[in-house]
Amino acid sequence: MGFRRALLAAIVSTGVAAAPAAADGLSWEACPSARGLDPRQQCASLTVPRDYAEPNGPTIEIAVSRIATATPALRRGVLLRNPGGPGSQGLIGPSRFAAALPREVLDRYDLIGFDPRGIGRSAPASCALAPADLDPVKFIPYPAYDLDITANVDYARRAASGCAATSGTLLPYISTANTARDMDRIRAALGESSISYVGYSYGTYLGAVYTTLFPQRTDRFVLDSNIHPDRIWRETFSSWGYAVELAFDGFARFAAERHATYGLGATPAAVHAKVLELAREMEREPYDLGGGYTLDGNRFRELIRNDVLRNDRSFPAAGDLLKLFDAREPRAAAAARGAQLLEQVGAAFPPVPGDNEFAGAWAVACGDADWPSSPAVYQRDVIAYDALFPIHGRAAANVWPCAFWPAEPREPAVRVGRLSSGRALIVQSLRDPATPLDGAVALRLRLGSRSKLVTVEDGAHSVAFNGINSCANAHAATFLATGALPAQDAWCARDAPLGAAGADARGGVAQHDDELGLLPLG
């Protein structure tokens, strides 16, 4: 183990892993059909080492996509994108960005997407999960209502065993560092001396790892909704406990100020207590909304975390939804209205995620860093976190398959370093339920003077070019188009007061269409 880690470090430090720029060696063709695919998007496949410590050993294929700029005379280079996760596909990324980016950015870049290794069409991992195991409230490990984690431990062991049996030869090589190395191979195949990049959530850590491993290949990086660089990975997920409480405070204040409208409580503390009361009621009697969508206590908590708090603009619909749940009407009569409100907060009848999404997320989270192996550690923390952070702490501190993962990390998690070339714009909302503000502050301090932080008043996860905040969009667009960072760290006020008429709960182009929406996991 020590020899392999030393060898990998030597590869990076001597530049062997930084493939030289070359003529475009990718064979572009039509992409597989997909919802939202721009007809201009092309796809290709790039061969890379499975193990960068053995560059002449077995290989895997990385799926790459592009939309070339329509104005070659203004072209600066390439703009890569990662939507988050881990576990999220990125091949559709150029189509997403072509609809979201302003003209001054589209003129300057070819838009490049890719499925990270282990995900989508890039050597996809599998854990052979049964349909019943493809459940977001199993992936996000909510314990039993009495906080017992026996079922979670059983699920984690079973998942880890399935991953080993199905993808055991691939798992040791799925990591953020290797994905960053793949990005540099993409750069070289495109014939570019450097890359620009936009990464959301998990993509911020991936981008920061790239700037550390390949500083001279770094151009303009936008990092939005930021992973704390020193919390890889269990600490990132356990931080959701307090992140959700901080984000919920925004909704609690909103609802308390409108107690006459929603009746959820006249103070933020009363609104908080009401939501916990509703969760306990759904533990006793799940709420059937029809169409196969049933809210029990755990799904209700996950609805709060992953949908109500993802964007402040959902607050009016969320207030109506919680009022409906609290009204104690006959549930059949309330089902249609409840389903409509769920759609307004972006949570109506979510598709069942695929085995690969779970497997890809676990492979990265378990492949980057060690996790505790004792179930007793997780049981202790679940009880403690539930007392401190009662909305989501019980799930945030719970066990993952990483506790029983069949492959140890092959190298330490990359310690993000100071930018020595290129620049970075860090964008972060004030109340992000998945990647709290302290992570962005830590990343800003770590990257140093070649970076600036833009803090956005809204509560949201994934801000720039996502219909959330025009000020943040302007900062990001100016930076990508011209290279100009704010003179100092900046503040962006929200575009309109909460609850303003015409506010769209889901913003503009949804960056989460190709995410499981775990952050989180990004």
CB 264 within 8 A of CB 323: yes
Phi/psi for 505 (5° steps) reads: -60, -30
In the CATH scheme, what is the homologous superfamily, with its name and number, of domain 2-124+172-232+418-492? Answer: Alpha/Beta hydrolase fold, catalytic domain (3.40.50.1820)
Average pLDDT over residues 400-411: 97
- Cα 140 from Cα 137, distance rounded (Å): 5
Average pLDDT over residues 231-258: 98
Which residues, at least 6 apart from 177, have a Cβ–Cβ distance to it below 8 Å? 8, 209, 213, 368, 411, 413, 414
**H or E element at residue 212:** helix 202-213
Give 90-114 pLDDT, tens digit per residue.
999 999 999 999 999 999 999 999 9
Hey, which residues are catalytic here?
Answer: 201, 432, 461
Average pLDDT over residues 297-325: 93
**pLDDT at position 98, please?**
97
Eight-class DSSP state of 403 = G
Give 22-49 pLDDT, tens digit per residue.
445 899 999 988 888 999 999 999 999 9
What is the amino acid identity at position 381?
D
pLDDT exceeds cutoff 80 at 473:
yes
Structure tokens at 396: 């945030």
Eight-class DSSP state of 197 = E
pLDDT exceeds cutoff 50 at 456:
yes
CA dist list (Å): 131 to 72, 128, 289:
47, 9, 21
- Cα 479 from Cα 8, distance rounded (Å): 33
CB 78 within 8 A of CB 190: yes
**pLDDT at position 335, please?**
66
pTM of the predicted model, to two decimals? 0.92
Segment among 340-344, 403-407, 469-473, 482-486 with least mean pLDDT? 340-344
**pLDDT at position 349, please?**
46
Q: Indicate where the chain has its CATH 3.40.50.1820 domain(s).
A: 2-124+172-232+418-492
- Cα 451 from Cα 420, distance rounded (Å): 10
pLDDT exceeds cutoff 90 at 7:
no
CB 87 within 8 A of CB 360: yes
Percent of the chain at pLDDT above 90? 80
**Burial of residue 71, with CB atoms counted within 10 A of its CB: 0-12 exposed, 13-18 middle, 19 or more buried:** exposed
pLDDT exceeds cutoff 60 at 505:
no
